[in-house]
Amino acid sequence: MKKIIPFLKTKEPYYALCCYALGAVMLHYGVLKLMLSQCTVVPFSAWRHPLENIPGGQLTWAFLGYSSWFQFLLGVLEFVPAVLLFFRRTSFLGGILMLPATLGIFLVNRALHLWEFTHTLSAVLLLLNLLIVVFEWGKVKALWAIISGARQHFATFKIWTIVKVVALVAVSVTFGLKRYHFRETNSDFCGDWYHNHPNEWVLAGEKVNDSAVSFIPFKAYFMPTLTYSEYSKQTPNPRGFVQYEVDRTKYIINFKWVRYEYNGGNFHHFQGKYRYAFTGDSVLVLSNIYDPLRVPARGEENVALHTWLFKKRVMGHSIFTD
């Protein structure tokens, strides 16, 4: 008893408890990934669901399990530090190597709304990892001293620090402003994509001049990157992309084929310039540019007024909202 009480007053038993607990759990998950058996989307019926209807847990597993070698690599990055945690001489190294993994697991659970159990477990694992680092704080400071090397003269160090900070801020702001406009770019076409609610335009009708004609249903999508895509049952996964430009003064949209092929043939409904109009907040009308007063050139046929009517559907699901 006389030896136990002083021992309990040291950090060693609590440090060992944190190492063993963290190591045991992460060893389990590391082996699962090494066996390529953790990141599997179940039930298999979920594979047939649209992306917007898949909850965060299944999206995470679909992403992490898409590539076998990537899932195996994640297993290595969890398994090796977990093994190091079981040995006193390597436990600190294991704790340092494990910290990115536990922090990533914690953030993924919060960001992608995973299961309640893993919410709690990820927080506990991160806490255990942080306690290991705190228990060995002296080694952390020594490691930092080695990495930072000999200190420069304070005045020189201060000047260079200010120069680097200003340069980093300038570069970051430049990149940020360059992308910021995407949040509002063509929002009437794109929708509130920034909050995972883009627009899907479903073809609801076609007319030639004033006569309704039969049509093949398809869905149109406008991206803030000024690219355009379509979907139909006949060509569900066409390759390539189409660019578009919007002239808001003349209400003209210009489609430019960059590369768009399906089974060796071009697949696309629009090419060139079209007039556009919005009816209310839910209907988009596209029509080819047609001038009834224009006299056709020799050998040129009269071009009929072709109109497409699309109805808007706001995509996304409550599972994406915070």
Q: What's the pLDDT at 262?
A: 47
CATH of the domain at 218: 2.40.128.540
Last-in-domain residue among 89, 121, 148: 148
Last-in-domain residue among 101, 130, 148: 148
- Whether 171 and 195 share a structural domain: no
Q: What's the pLDDT at 86?
A: 94
- Whether 195 and 284 share a structural domain: yes
Q: What's the pLDDT at 320?
A: 39
- Whether 125 and 223 share a structural domain: no
- Whether 158 and 275 share a structural domain: no
Total-model pTM: 0.63
Q: What's the pLDDT at 321?
A: 40
- Whether 140 and 200 share a structural domain: no
Whose tokens are 């970051």? That residue is: 172
Angle at 72 between CA 66 and CA 73, to 5 degrees: 105
Average pLDDT of adjacent 10-residue blocks, the chain of 322 residues = 62 89 94 87 73 80 87 94 93 94 93 86 95 90 74 63 86 75 74 83 90 87 85 64 87 77 54 88 84 50 79 70 38
Q: What's the pLDDT at 266?
A: 44
Q: What's the pLDDT at 121?
A: 94
Q: What's the pLDDT at 316?
A: 75
Q: For residues 90 and 23, what is the distance between their CA atoms, to the nearest angstrom?
A: 12
3-state secondary structure string across the chain: CCCHHHHHCCCHHHHHHHHHHHHHHHHHHHHHHHCCCCCCCCCHHHHHCCHHHCCHHHHHHHHHCCCHHHHHHHHHHHHHHHHHCCCCCCHHHHHHHHHHHHHHHHHHHHHCCCCHHHHHHHHHHHHHHHHHHHHCHHHHHHHHHHHHCCCCCHHHHHHHHHHHHHHHHHHHHHHHHHHHHHHCCCHHHHEEHHHCEEEEEEEEEEEECCEEECCCCCEEEECCCCEEEEECCCCCCCEEEEEEEEECCCCEEEEEEEEEEECCEECCCCCEEEEEEEECCCEEEEEECCCCCCCCCCCCCCCCCEEEEEEEEECCCHHHCC
- Whether 211 and 290 share a structural domain: yes
- Whether 165 and 220 share a structural domain: no
Q: What's the pLDDT at 90?
A: 92
Last-in-domain residue among 163, 183, 203: 183
Strand partners, 311: 202, 283
Whose tokens are 């992308």? That residue is: 179
- Whether 172 and 222 share a structural domain: no
- Whether 256 and 200 share a structural domain: yes
Quote the number of domains for the chain. Answer: 3
Structural domain containing residue 15: 4-148
- Whether 144 and 8 share a structural domain: yes
- Whether 133 and 51 share a structural domain: yes
Q: For residues 195 and 26, what is the distance between their CA atoms, to the nearest angstrom?
A: 33
3-state secondary structure string across 8-48: HCCCHHHHHHHHHHHHHHHHHHHHHHHCCCCCCCCCHHHHH
Q: What's the pLDDT at 85?
A: 94
- Whether 33 and 57 share a structural domain: yes
